[in-house]
Amino acid sequence: METQQTQTVGRYANVNGLKMYYEIHGTGSPLVLLHGGGSTIYTTFGRILPQLAQSHQVIAVELQAHGHTGDRDAPETFKQDADDVAELLHQLNIAKADIFGFSNGGQTALEIGIRHPGKVNKLIIASAFYKRDGVPAGFWVGFDNAKFSDMPQVYKDEFLKINNDQSALMNMFNRDVQRMFTFQDWSDDEIRSIKAPALVVAGDRDLPLPEHLAAMSRLLPDSRLAILPGTHGSYMGEIMSPDAESKIPELFVVMINEFLAGIR
């Protein structure tokens, strides 16, 4: 596989016609990190990545049109993201990995579990939903006339630190908006088809409704459910977290490590 080393720990791989950026940290069992929409590796996982890398070989990727990764002449889809991650693992000669996806990354993780079950040891589905009615109705109204000005400034700033190209930032925004505008439910049978052990987790004041997460957890054949105090990703220290000093992300890492180690 041809990879290009960046000045830090980053590499690029040619994946399904896409120049995909990824980083590898630590040693141990492979753990793939999939960021949220509009995000990068570090806006989503910056707080907990160093801790995870103490006991795992962390493979953190940036998906189509996000961060360092290029774009292709095709819409963003969760299915394509899943295929891209599976191909990257193939190129890295990693037969199976644990998959941890947050928000839109969690939906990509669901697709990996459905489309590429042989690549998955365990799944962590964080702050993601599988049906439109899994979130408050007002969330969808916002996509009828989505405005770039509504995108949190911190995400814009972090993208431009990586790629100082306003048109690329706008392209990422438009890709993400279109994907959510056309969001289609997964069927209950599709969720039931995911055989990998799964941890479904979110905050109690998160975007997905707790009752929806409970329903998804019951559909998954082998799952655990955790509703933690917090907002969208604050339990893992996502960059929008209101309390940067919270100790809950440290507890969350312990929970992840125990789940992945089989202490269930």
- DSSP calls for 12-66: EEEETTEEEEEEEES-SEEEEEE--TT--HHHHHTTTHHHHTTTEEEEEEE-TTS
Q: What is the mean pLDDT of residues 108-133?
A: 98
- Which pLDDT belongs to residue 144? 86
Residue 187 DSSP symbol: P
Q: What is the pTM of this model?
A: 0.95
Give tens-digit pLDDT for 175-219. Answer: 999 999 999 999 999 999 999 999 999 999 999 999 999 999 999
- In the chain, what's the furthest Cα-to-Cα distance? 46
Q: Among 7-21, 53-67, 78-92, 108-122, which stretch is predicted with the lowest mean pLDDT?
A: 7-21
Q: How confident is the model at residue 3 (pLDDT cuts 50, 70, 90)?
A: very low
Confidence of residue 263 (pLDDT cuts 50, 70, 90): low
Q: What is the rounded average pLDDT for all residues in the chain?
A: 95
Q: How far apart are CA 135 and CA 142, in angstroms?
A: 12
All structural domains of the chain with their residue ranges: 3-261
Burial class of 261 by CB neighbour count within 10 A (0 to 12, 13 to 18, 19+): exposed
Contact 106/159 with Cβ under 8 angstroms? no
At residue 244, the pLDDT reads 87
Q: Write out the two tokens for 192.
A: 């039931």
Q: How confident is the model at residue 264 (pLDDT cuts 50, 70, 90)?
A: very low
> Residue 9: which pLDDT band, with cuts at 50, 70 and 90?
confident
Q: List the one residue out of 4, 39, 38, 37 whose CA is nearest residue 23.
A: 4
Order of all β-strands in the sheet with 56-62: 3-5, 10-15, 18-25, 56-62, 29-34, 97-102, 120-126, 198-203, 223-228
State mean pLDDT over 145-173.
Answer: 96
Kindly state the average pLDDT of the residues 18-42.
97
d(CA 162, CA 32) in angstroms, rounded, equals 21
CATH 3.40.50.1820 fits 3-261, yes or no: yes
Residue 86, pLDDT above cutoff 90: yes
Q: Which residues contact 119 (CB under 8 A, 6 or more apart)?
A: 86, 89, 95, 96, 97, 112
Number of residues written out for the chain: 264
Closest alpha carbon to 57 in 14, 109, 96: 96
pLDDT tens per residue across span 55-69: 999 999 999 999 999
| Half-sphere exposure in the Cβ direction for 155 (13 Å, CA) | 21
Reported as half-sphere exposure (CB side, CA atoms, 13 A), residue 207 has a value of: 18
Give 4's pLDDT tier (boundaries 50, 70, 90).
very low
Residue 258 belongs to what H/E stretch?
helix 248-261
Single-letter code of the amino acid located at 238: E
The torsion defined by the Cα of 40, 46, 47 and 50, in degrees rounded to 10, comes to 140
pLDDT of residue 152: 96
